[in-house]
Structure 1
């Protein structure tokens, strides 16, 4: 049987799957933002977001979960912008993630360094 060593892209894809939505919530803690702002914050100089095309379905999912609300705001330079704002449920989900993430990363680090 032929086995392939995963590329860094494959590993990053797997790591992103359960994390990026919480990173979006973390970005919204400081206040509402529209999609392009979030894409720039998550995509500039980081491995969290590969394209805007993956962000908008994620934003739709977290909105359906009740973790964010949206508001249309007129723009002086084009169509109205949809701003996303974290809800109390989103803050609670983020806090649960942060507590779990801390324990998880400690366990991973301990295992990898042993």
Structure 2
């Protein structure tokens, strides 16, 4: 998550947004081979059931990110995914920033 944290710090540029504030709205997982099944399955469902507004999965094995939103009845009802290099636009959300993904880790 170092790259993500660096991007957030760069995007803040004086704003009062903190990592804690961001992660209240957006949970982020950088998967590993050992956690992939859980991150894409039960953990995603748990966050949806808890009403976490957005769940971002960063997958270094496929070099893609997946943003799950619109939680209702324990399920995220919207998902968008793109390859690394495509920005994640969160400007219309309480996070209020754009995350660059071109330097996300790849395996």
**TM range, normalised to the smaller chain?**
under 0.3
Which structure's CA Rg is the greater one?
A: 1
Select the structure that is richer in helix: 1
**What is the TM-score with the length of structure 1 in the denominator?**
0.25
**What is the TM-score with the length of structure 2 in the denominator?**
0.26
Select the structure that is richer in strand: 2
